[in-house]
Chains A and B, each alone.
Chain A
Amino acid sequence: MPISVKRWYMEGIMRFIHTADWQIGKPFGSIEDEEARALLRRQRIESIKAISDAAEAHAASFVVVAGDLFDSNTPDTSTVSQLCAAVGKIPVPVFVIPGNHDDGGPGSIYGRQFFLEQQGKHAPNMKILLEPEPVETDHAVILPAPCIFGARQANPLRWLYRQGAFDDLPIHKPRIVLAHGSVTGFDGTEGSDYLIDLELLDFDQVDFVALGDWHGTKKITEKCWYSGTHEPDRFPRSDGYSAGNVLLVETERGALPNVTRIETGRLFWHRREIHIGEKADVDNLKEQIGRLTSNRVGRDLIRLQLKGTVSLSVGTYLEQVLETVGSELLYLRLRNEIQIVPDEVELQKLMHGSDPLIARVATRLTEQLSASGHDDEREVSEALRLLYHACQGGMN
């Protein structure tokens, strides 16, 4: 819980919003549906409004974005314009460092004329910190560790390890380190190019380390946090993964910070792995998905992995259910690894029916299926399913 505004005012505590990994312009290529893709992209910009609201509501002095403001260094112009417009609406200064996706250096978005124009026009409150040097604000000192192309694998924090790095800083203002990358000892971040070694940092000299790169909200130490992305952008890999937040940080020089999560995400990403064996499981699946989305329509994305072996009839039923189940979802990614194999009854029906040719073909297929180590197992079971389906009058 944030401390009261009164205490903040009385005790000289300052507040700011810590956020990161907006990844504006992320293409969401793996989403097949173009409309859904467009919506996902748009939502990342729209959710900035929630940050703006939070900054205002909690009287934050500024906002820090710990890297990856853009998804790449080559966003298109309309994306740049929209972003600048959204940032411009935040009522306080916004300090940004480049991350691994939008790292500084040659070819960086932050050096582009168009960006600079748009920034000047729509977001004069946005400060891009490209140099590793202290930036003093009215209430705090920001120590940026920007990711710069060409300095990969190098620790952007290195400049703070120097003897006397903090010597000339004002002694009363809280010191906020702004960095982006993988923290050594925490392998949660995915394949980051930039490594941050916190052990070498003199934590007595800093009051908060605002980190970016990991898209879930994550506390590394009392003073050291990943805010996660403001709007979820992927299917969670673990239960503890919580994205779609920003952090309201209350800090003062020489004290532990008070960190509060504020939800800003608007979309829900789910990951489910379900085992199907019989018809009841299919019904259960339908119910589960219904529970996940509760009353929402068009705001949930589900990655559904189906496993197990079912009979031909259950397989057919499953197909029917899957056709209708996605209607309330924004997006359903189905990984159907179900093996459809005729059960005894079905086999009997096929192999010993009154149609000699069908019976022979079914028998041959069954033989092929049971032949050990058959490479085309899926193909054969598909063949059997198709045959069964055709015999059930599924020909058209």
Chain B
Amino acid sequence: MRLISATVKNYRLHKEFMIDFDPEMTVIVGPNETGKSTLIEAIHSGLFLKARAGGQALSRIRSKLYPGHPEVTVCFEAKGKRCEVTKIFRGQSGTALVKMEGSSYSGDEAEYILGELLGETPVGGKAASRLNLRWNHLWVWQGQGGKYPGRAVEERNEVLIRRLQQEQGAIIQQSEKDAAVADYFRKEYSRFFTDKGQISKKKGNELYEKKQRLEKLEALVEEARARVDRLEAARGEYLRALKEKEEKGKELEKTQLELQQVVKKLAECEELSKQADEHKKQFEELKAEKAALERVQEEITALKREIKEMVQGLGPMEKGLQELEAAIASKQKSLDRLRSSHQNEVRKRLQAAETELELLSLCREALRADTEITRLEKKIERVEDLEGQLKNIERRITELPKVTEAQRERILQLSSDIKSAEARLDALSARIEVSESELAVQVDGRPVPVGGHVTVRRTCEVTVGESTRITVTPGGGTSLEDAASKLDRLEEDLQGLLRQIGVDSVEQALSAYEAAREERGRLEAVKTRLDELNGKELRHSLESARKIRDEAESKIQRLSSKAEGWVRPSDLVEISDRISKAEARVKELKNEEEAILKEANNLHEELEADRQRREETQREIRQIQEALTEARAKLSVKQEEAGDDKKRGDRLIELGQQMEKERLIIDAIERKIAEHEPERLKLSREKYKKAEERLSSEIRQAREDMLRAETLLEFDGSLDPQAELDERMAAAEQARREYEAVYRRANAIRRVHELFLEERQRLADRYSKPLSQKISDYARVIFGSLSRVDTRLSENSLHSITLFHHKFGDTEFDFEALSGGAKEQLAAAVRLAVAEILAQEHDGCLPVVFDDSFTNSDRDRLQSIQDMLFKASKRGLQIIVLSSSPEDYGTMPGRVVRMEPPVVGMQADMTKGLSFGHSDGHDDGLEIDAVSAFSGNREGLAAYANLPQDQERFLALLKNMGGSSGNKALMERLGWDQARYEETKSRLLSMGLIRTGHGPGGSVSVV
């Protein structure tokens, strides 16, 4: 199948666009948004979208710029025929028309024929969404260049495998029955297992269900078994408890018997012990009686001794008492004597001496006070004189006019100011002097005597006599007036001040001031003297002195009346003398008194001590006499009670005998008790009691256990647990058998299925090889001649595409591990290889469209990519490349179609695509100078033009030379230098178009 031309109308942004395809290679270039992809998509739609397709498929292709329905006409060759298909897309009324060898087909028939010719049917309706999958192995949509091509290839696996098988010739092919049986086992397998080989949990999976059932039943068995076991255990437990109860019961009986015996023996011991106690009591009573009797005996003896001792002790005590009485009487007499002499004599004398002394002291005091009074009175006189002076001065000061310091200053100032004002006035005023006149001269009415003068300060009138009047006006104008008024003012002030003070003149004021000052000075002097004398204190002292004298005098009066023969001394000397004498006498008498008192005290103390002793002795004697009386009474009582000495002695002997008897009885009983070993018996009793308790509790426990077991054994009887267990076990066993049967069958199926897979893969591997070979052919152009590609093709997939890159030491690269660029290149190689194989079903040609499919590839690689595409075109494929960068494909042989952005509203004929070169007649291949096809676009790119051209020439010449030639001969025929020849040769070698051979200098031949 080969595209010839196409016309697109009203298709999205295309108003109308017509394109002719080169039979081998067409490059459509143009900037983005020029409609390259749309154009190629429109052609795809023309081939594979049903004309009646509607919905999204239709709305997508409708033009929003131009009215009219989308219309696509594609002209192509297929199955040896030239066809033209025209589709107008307008939903249900869309039309499809196929013209072929003079016949026309329309509608569904046209679509059918198209499908037959292309090998894949057009889609419409709901299937329209699958449109992009049509020929997606040949049509590399924009953005799909680097995608794993396996999916696209897998859909064509069947044809691909068939073609590969045919290529391989006698290869073994699976039969239809093979396929059917394998498929049957695959399906059977998937009934039981997941893709990963696990047991599938799908509903209806017998294996899974059986397994589930088995597990469930086994769980049920366990449950039932547990129930039965519980019952069984309960029975065992019941029996155990029963046995325990019985055994313990027997033990208990035995224990109780033992206990009874022990208790009985203990009771006997108790009885004996009571008897012993009785006897012990009697013994104790006897003992007590005896002891009492003995005690009485002792008491009587003691009493007797005591009385004797007391009687003996009384004699000396009474004698001592008599002596003491005598001593007391004598001492009392001495003391009385002492006391009377002191009072009568010494005391009187001492008092008289003391009185005299006191009187003398008073006299001295009175005398001294008199002296003081006299002195003070004189001083007070002086004070009173000064006080009179002070009063005078003060009166004088009061009488003087009062001029303050400030007033004085002011007066002086005003006087001075007046003087200067007068001087000034004088200077200005006129002097009227009467030198000689017969007439009375008056100035302003005041007469001025001859020789006198008047000073006038203002206009005045001088009258001389009666008739002469002269007006005198002093000079100076107003200043005279001013000076006069100032003076007046000053004088007025002064006069005011003087008036205020109360004087008439300045002199008065000043002298008053001076006088006052002097007086004040005197006053201060007097005050100072007064202060020195301190009159107040003087008067006070005088008062005190007088009081002292008066008091002393009154005392003297009082005392002197008592003193006989008292003569008042006259002066101080006498007083002093007499005082000294009196003092000595008082001292002497006091000593004397003290000695007497001391003696009396001593005597008194002795006397007191003797009296104390006497009392003590008297008390002791009294006590002894009382004790003696008591002891005698006691003795008589005791003797009365206990009988006489004989009777007591007999009783004591009797008591001793009785006690011995009781002691013997007690010993006998205690021996008997000891024989019973009561302590051991008590221990035994404890032991048996404990055992009894323990056993009883154990029996109780056993009874409880029995009850519990019985409760467990009781059940409602609605079902038989044993039967249930049996049934469940059998059911589980059955389920297990069933599971095993299914398990075996499932595994048998798995076994067969896996063998089918293995064997089929083995077959598949055989045709994977030629496919890998073909892909490698293309890949080597890019990745180097030593690289290779491995791929595994099986019935329903293209497993792994692996690149062995020679550059990296034959390293293995999985497709997905490659770089973006390498992916694009390898994917292109796979597509080209597959297309080449599939082309055999399509007259040896298929178009392969690359829409901007190498965007990730380096510029350096683009040359190799172009070589690969060129190689594909040489192998019969029609290559169509869309690119937005024309320079990338500058060196590509083939037709270049340049697209410009469409202009809205342009005439249809003007939007016709610019196409270059020829549109047909390319059949003779190598004879064509491919470069000519690019003439319109190749300027400036000439430097890159050589290579493909060189390759063409190389191949053409080699073919003309019979397909092979020696290197040297060929190089000479081409007329190239060594480098150019080798370069071209290596490129062709890498493309696999030529191969090297032997011979002198080496040879090349066409593949």
Contact = CB atoms under 8 A, between A and B. Distances in A.
Interface of A: 25-27, 29-32, 37, 71-77, 79-80, 105-107, 112, 114, 149-150, 354-358, 360-361, 364-365, 368, 376, 378-380, 382-383, 385-387, 390-391, 395
A357 B745 contact: no
Given A74-B715, A386-B748, A356 B178 contact: yes
B720 A379 contact: no
B239 A361 contact: no
B235 A383 contact: no
Contacts of B175: 354-358
Given A107-B231, A356-B175, A395-B181, A72 B723 contact: yes
Contacts of B747: 376, 379
Contacts of B242: 106, 150
Contact of A357 (B184, B751, B760): B760
Interface in B626-668: none
Nearest to B180: A395
Interface stretch (B10-18, B132-140, B685-693, B729-737): B729-737
Interface string B165-178: 00000001111011
B720 A74 contact: yes
B765 to A, nearest CB: 13
Interface in B735-766: 744-745, 747-749, 751-752, 755-756, 758-760, 762-763
A73 to B, nearest CB: 7
A379 B177 contact: no
Nearest to B243: A150
B759 A364 contact: yes
A365 B172 CA distance: 20
30 contacts: A26-B723, A29-B723, A29-B728, A29-B731, A30-B730, A31-B730, A72-B723, A74-B722, A75-B720, A76-B717, A106-B234, A106-B238, A106-B242, A106-B710, A106-B713, A107-B713, A354-B175, A356-B178, A356-B763, A357-B175, A357-B179, A357-B763, A358-B178, A361-B756, A364-B758, A378-B744, A379-B751, A387-B181, A387-B185, A390-B184
B143 to A, nearest CB: 40
B718 A73 contact: no
B727 A29 contact: yes
A112 B717 CA distance: 10
A71 B723 contact: yes
Contacts of A354: 175, 177
B181 A358 contact: yes
Contacts of B751: 365, 368, 376, 379-380, 383
Contacts, number: 155
A114 B234 CA distance: 20
B189 to A, nearest CB: 11
A84 to B, nearest CB: 13
A357 B715 CA distance: 65
B181 A390 contact: yes
Contacts of A385: 748
Contact of B748 (A106, A112, A150, A383): A383
B929 interface: no
Contacts of B178: 355-358
B724 interface: yes
Contact of B759 (A105, A106, A107, A360): A360
B205 to A, nearest CB: 17
In the A-B complex, list the 6 residue pairs whose CB atoms are closest, starting with the nearest: A29-B730, A106-B238, A107-B713, A357-B178, A27-B723, A72-B722
Given A74-B715, A112-B717, A390-B184, A361 B759 contact: yes
A382 B744 contact: yes
B759 A357 contact: yes
A382 B173 CA distance: 27
Contacts of B239: 105-106, 149-150
B942 interface: no
Interface residues of B, number: 56
A395 B728 CA distance: 36
Given A75-B723, A382-B744, 16 more contacts: A27-B726, A29-B730, A32-B734, A37-B727, A74-B231, A75-B717, A114-B717, A357-B182, A357-B756, A361-B752, A361-B756, A365-B755, A378-B744, A380-B748, A383-B751, A390-B184
B726 A29 contact: yes
A361 B758 CA distance: 9
A79 B720 contact: yes
Given A31-B730, A106-B709, A107-B713, A387 B718 contact: no
B249 interface: no
B714 to A, nearest CB: 8
B744 A379 contact: yes
Contacts of B722: 27, 71-74
A106 B710 CA distance: 7
B755 A358 contact: no
B902 interface: no
Contacts of B755: 360-361, 364-365
Given A383-B748, A383-B749, A77 B235 contact: no
A12 to B, nearest CB: 44
A31 B723 CA distance: 13
A391 B177 contact: yes
Contacts of B770: none
Given A71-B722, A379-B751, A380-B748, A391 B181 contact: yes
Nearest to B719: A76
A368 B714 CA distance: 59
B721 interface: yes
A72 B762 CA distance: 64
Contacts of B763: 356-357
Nearest to A336: B741
Contacts of A361: 752, 755-756, 759
Contacts of A31: 730
A382 B748 contact: yes
A112 B716 CA distance: 10
A376 B172 CA distance: 31
Contacts of B759: 357, 360-361, 364
Contacts of A77: 716-718
A89 B231 CA distance: 32
B247 to A, nearest CB: 14
Contacts of B706: 106
A25 B723 contact: yes
A360 B754 CA distance: 12
Interface centre among A106, A356, A364 (most CB of B within 10 A): A106
Nearest to A149: B235
A260 B710 CA distance: 43
A72 B729 CA distance: 16
Contacts of A387: 181, 185, 752
A82 to B, nearest CB: 13
B181 A27 contact: no
A73 B758 CA distance: 60
A355 B720 contact: no
